[in-house]
Amino acid sequence: MSLNYRSRWNLIKKIFFIIFLIHTGWFLVFLFQKFNEVDFVVSNLRSKVLLVCTLLTLIFLCYYFWLRKLPVVNKIGVAVKETFFICYISSFLYLLAGIVINPPLTITQLANLLGGNKLKRNYISINEMGPNIKLAVIAAEDQLFPDHDGFDVKAIKKALKFNNRHPDRQRGGSTISQQTAKNVFLWQGGGFFRKGLEVYFTFSIEKFWTKKTILERYLNIAEMGRGIFGVQAASKAYFNKNAKDLSRSEATMIAACLRNPKVFTVKPLSRNVAYLSNIISRQMSNLGADPDIAALLR
């Protein structure tokens, strides 16, 4: 690495370290406010966050005052630091790019390709999506989407209670914002680490993106069938028409498959999709007059 390149890289790291401190400090203030909500996102979040912060502090102190004097450990520490900056800088730039563009390829889409599935997708702008599909997805996935800060605490509590009573039938309480953050930046699956990152990125897109942008990204990248991503690809695959031309019943069927797109199938029409589509249709009638939702449909 040349001296000139190294100095530029060090300057970039200093700039982004300041950005990271501001970004993360802003997030921690938000998180501490949410600690007043019982079982926010994951059970015992307060104690888990405090434990992680304590462990990270102890590791840093041990490294700074003792371990970094060992040549091998110092090399590992430098590699970890460089990896951190590369990951944070790239994710932050990706966050900014997401204001204007859809993600070129998500981890979920890549996993589908590697799993032997074809990748069907066709990104379109939110103005090219008809009001039926936008309203159907909001009705099915997140009826408070225009009003919350990325997290629907009541829905999370209900899901946690249901999951505790029915460990073999897990139910999610994630908002459209949470699902968008997971699909754009992360991978499928659970675990505290992945869930913690999801909270961080959900907070971030809520602060940097508009609600319309979040909805557009979600409607373009959400899995809506095996190897089918986004409302345009789903509309073409199931009904051979554009998303803006979907009827109310067609939109509800696509929205109904979002809960489990590999099992809840539109073609052939599964019983779950047929049942849920009727419920979604009734919810659409209730939500259509909401002025905040109406603004998202225009």
101, two tokens: 């563009």
211, two tokens: 């609600």
Partners of residue 140 on adjacent β-strands: none
pLDDT at 33: 80
- Which residue segments constitute the domains of the chain, with CATH numbers given? 3-97 (no CATH), 107-297 (1.10.3810.10)
Low-confidence ranges of the chain (pLDDT < 70): 1-3, 35-46, 156-173
pLDDT at 103: 92
Task: Work out the angle between the directed axes of helices 176-185 and 131-141 (0-180°, nearest 10).
Answer: 100
pLDDT at 41: 62
d(CA 130, CA 189): 31
pLDDT at 35: 67
pLDDT at 125: 94
d(CA 257, CA 263): 8
pLDDT at 288: 78
| Predicted TM-score of the model (pTM) | 0.88
